[in-house]
């Protein structure tokens, strides 16, 4: 049964409001294309209201600024308790709006409270230093929240992205205006209601749904926004970095895409490597930024591996995301499905060998067959651009030195992996590969304790880990005259 849609308006100053223009937009089910809700569409005027509310909540005399840091942590922990209470509903809503298969949604949404609790626990551990200085003085540093943060979310894992950004900003004492992705506007609203219930004062969290070109652009250009954190495409990430310097100088954190290389050495255990490589690119329909979308297999085992990879892909069950036995659901929207299908056509045209899949399934919803290309070479489009779909591209290599250089020959640098039983190979690869996250004999392993982010065009800054609060803080150095002698 479809989950009840409780919230469709904008959330400003802890109230549900229509957009100033009165405009709305539709969000559709990726499973069958039907309209599942009509949502208030915010633009510049609504962003202005939301930023005003967030500024008021950031005033030095506001309830939020006067609150003890430990209390901020307690409110966020209460938020985690409420997410636990509503986990079944949130899981269904995430799956319904996004097309995420229910088993994956259970893992993402069920696991998200670990992230909330970890980040919440940092709220009262943000501290500066005392510094011995030359001369008659005493110095110390304060770490203070940067101010109003604009948080722009992608559609691929909406709840986790919301938590990574919103909870981190709140742990530091910042206030926020969130612009969820237009494809998946619903779960952010449900989470905002839970933050209010947990005791977050008015104006601290504001949600403005709408399009990137209107609401997103207004947020990134707003002179009273001190910081932008964005997850999405590298293309938009570059626009955001420019916008962030246009009126004031905003701090920027960017989590962008990838073209992540996964290396299979000929000494690897194929019983482990084949399913990890498949899951690394087919999980969540390939719509994950760390997808293993360049699979390099060493020449001695290449034919054997390709055969096993094709068999694995053929065994993937595609269908209704609500079915708990299904592995792969629909792409998020028609436009994204068509983009993936165009990449598949391009792959065929440029001479990659299509071994299974390659087509849309049916004509209802946005389903694509699990697709495997072999004999891909580095110059092909499917080896260079982020596909964000269920497409495995297999490339052949001979030596470790060669594959490290080929792995690094991209502007991206988000994740990388290697399967090998040789510890030297693993360590050499981990040292030299240009990626923010590296896995050895595993893939897609993430956690609240682990810093996450990219090298090169894959982003700026890191989320998660003990230092996740730093991008939301300013360091203030205070020096007090203190004569050495009494
Ligand atoms: P996108 O980058 O266009 O959108 C992401 C978010 O940014 C959305 O909320 C969108 O409304 C907003 N946005 C778009 N243009 C903006 C602008 N000029 N100023 C401010 N905000 C703006 O991503 P998409 O169109 O949803 O997906 C396109 C591609 O992005 C995908 O095919 C995939 O390659 C990549 N992607 C990566 C991730 C990731 O986790 N790194 C997530 C989603 C998509
Ligand atoms: Mg877009």
For the domain that residue 248 is a member of, what is the CATH number? 3.40.605.10
Q: How much is the pLDDT for 125?
A: 98
**What is the Cα–Cα distance from 16 to 207, expressed in whole angstroms?**
10
Q: Provide the β-strand partners of residue 397.
A: 298
* Same-domain check for residues 245 and 126: yes
Q: Does the pLDDT of residue 224 top 90, yes or no?
A: yes
pLDDT tens digits, 47-99: 999 999 999 999 999 999 999 999 999 999 999 999 999 999 999 999 999 99
C-alpha dihedral (180, 385, 293, 344), degrees to nearest 10: 100
pLDDT of residue 145: 98
**pLDDT mean over 352-360:** 98
Average pLDDT over residues 245-261: 97
- Catalytically annotated residues: 255, 289
Would you state the pLDDT for residue 1?
A: 80
Q: Per-residue b/e over 437-463, b at no fewer than 16 CB within 10 Å?
A: bbbbeebbeeebeeebbbbbbbbbbbb
125 and 220 inside one domain: yes
Domain of 98, in residue numbers: 10-256
Residue 485 confidence class, pLDDT cut points 50, 70, 90: confident
Q: Evaluate if residue 402 carries a pLDDT over 90.
A: yes
pLDDT digits (tens, 9 = 90+) for 288-329: 999 999 999 999 999 999 999 999 999 999 999 999 999 999
Contact status, residue 475 vs residue 128, Cβ threshold 8 Å: yes
Candidates 233, 412, 437: which one to mutate for ligand 1, based on the most atoms within 8 Å of Cβ?
Answer: 233
Report residue 483's pLDDT band, with 50, 70 and 90 as the boundaries: confident
CATH (domain of 305): 3.40.309.10
Q: 280 and 248 share a domain?
A: no
Distance 68 CA to ligand 1 centre (A): 36
234 and 315 part of one domain = no
Whether residue 301 sits in one domain with residue 400: yes
Handedness of CA 121, 123, 125, 126 (dihedral sign): positive
Going by alpha carbons, the residue nearest to atom 40 of ligand 1 is 289
**Shared-domain flag, residues 175 and 286:** no
Tell me which residues have their CB closer than 6 angstroms to ligand 1: 152-156, 179, 181-182, 211-213, 216-217, 220, 231-233, 236, 239-240, 255-257, 289, 386, 388
Domain boundary among 256, 278, 307: 256
Percent of the chain residues past pLDDT 70, beyond the cut: 100
| Nearest ligand (C-alpha, residue 333) | 1
Question: Which residues lie below 8 Å from residue 123, measured CB to CB, with a gap of 6+?
Answer: 69, 70, 72, 73, 76, 171, 172
The stretch 376-380 carries a mean pLDDT of 98
Q: Are residues 249 and 370 in the same domain?
A: no
Instruction: Indicate the average pLDDT of the chain.
Output: 97
H/E element, 439? strand 437-440
Instruction: Supply the DSSP symbol for 468.
Output: G
Ligand nearest to the CA of 389: 1
268 and 394 co-located in one domain: yes
User: How many A from CA of 230 to the centre of ligand 2?
Assistant: 13
Q: Is there a domain that residue 330 lies in?
A: yes
Find the 67 Cα to ligand 2 centroid distance in Å. Answer: 38
Give the closest residue (by CA) to ligand 1 atom 13.
212
| Residue corresponding to tokens 């150095």 | 477
Q: Is residue 233 part of a domain?
A: yes
Q: How many residues does the chain have?
A: 486
pTM (two decimals)? 0.97
Q: What is the pLDDT of residues 126-155, one digit of tens each?
A: 999 999 999 999 999 999 999 999 999 999
Q: Are residues 208 and 193 in the same domain?
A: yes
β-pairing, 251-255 vs 175-179, is unpaired
Q: Which of 231, 256, 281 is the last residue before a domain boundary? A: 256
Structural domain includes residue 476: no
Q: Are residues 338 and 203 in the same domain?
A: no
- Report whether pLDDT(251) > 90: yes
Mean pLDDT of 359-380: 98
Q: 282 with 250, same domain?
A: no
Asked if 252 and 304 sit in the same domain, the reply is: no
Domain count, the chain: 2
CA of 233 to the centre of ligand 2 (A): 8
Is pLDDT above 90 for 486?
Answer: no
């Amino acid at each position: 049964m479809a989950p009840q849609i409780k919230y469709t308006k904008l959330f400003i100053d802890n109230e549900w409001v229509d957009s100033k223009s009165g405009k709305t937009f539709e969000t559709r089910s990726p499973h069958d294309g039907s309209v599942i809700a009509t949502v208030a569409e915010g633009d510049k005027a609504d962003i202005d209201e939301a930023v005003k509310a967030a500024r008021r909540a950031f005033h030095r005399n506001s309830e939020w600024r006067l609150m003890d840091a430990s209390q901020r942590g307690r409110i966020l922990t209460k938020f985690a308790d409420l997410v636990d209470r509503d986990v079944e509903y949130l899981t269904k809503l995430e799956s319904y709006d996004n097309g995420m298969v229910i088993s994956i949604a259970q893992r993402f949404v069920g696991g998200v409270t670990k992230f909330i609790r970890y980040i919440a626990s940092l709220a009262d551990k943000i501290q500066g230093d005392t510094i011995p200085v030359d001369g008659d003085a005493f110095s110390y540093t304060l770490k203070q929240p940067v101010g109003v943060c604009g948080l722009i979310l992608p559609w691929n894992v909406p709840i986790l992205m919301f938590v990574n950004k919103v909870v981190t900003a709140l742990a530091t004492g910042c206030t926020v205006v969130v612009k969820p992705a237009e494809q998946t506007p619903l779960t952010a609203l449900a989470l905002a209601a839970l933050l209010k219930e947990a005791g977050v004062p008015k104006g601290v969290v504001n949600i403005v749904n709408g399009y990137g070109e209107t609401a997103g652009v207004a947020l990134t250009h707003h002179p009273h926004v001190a910081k932008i954190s964005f997850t999405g495409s590298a293309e938009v990430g570059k626009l955001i970095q420019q916008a962030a310097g246009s009126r004031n100088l905003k701090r920027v954190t960017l989590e962008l895409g990838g073209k992540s290389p996964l290396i299979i050495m000929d000494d690897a255990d194929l019983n482990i490597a084949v399913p990890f490589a498949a899951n690394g690119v087919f999980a969540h329909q390939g719509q994950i930024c760390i997808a293993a979308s360049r699979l390099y297999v060493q020449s001695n085992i290449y034919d054997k591996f390709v055969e096993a990879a094709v068999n694995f892909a053929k065994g993937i069950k595609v269908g209704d995301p609500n079915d708990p036995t299904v592995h792969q659901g629909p792409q998020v929207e028609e436009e994204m499905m068509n983009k993936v299908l165009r990449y598949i056509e391009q792959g065929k045209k440029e001479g990659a060998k299509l071994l299974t899949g390659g087509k849309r399934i049916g004509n209802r919803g946005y389903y694509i067959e699990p697709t495997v290309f072999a004999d891909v070479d580095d110059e092909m489009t499917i080896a260079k651009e982020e596909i964000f779909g269920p497409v495995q591209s297999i490339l052949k290599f001979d030596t470790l030195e060669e594959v490290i250089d080929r792995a690094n020959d991209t502007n991206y640098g988000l994740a990388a992996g290697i399967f090998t039983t040789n510890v030297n190979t693993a360590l050499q690869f981990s040292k030299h590969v240009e990626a923010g996250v590296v896995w050895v004999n595993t893939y897609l392993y993430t956690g609240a304790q682990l810093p996450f982010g990219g090298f090169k065009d894959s982003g700026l800054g890191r989320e998660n880990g003990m230092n996740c609060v730093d991008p939301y803080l300013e360091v203030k150095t205070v020096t007090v005259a203190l004569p050495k002698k009494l």
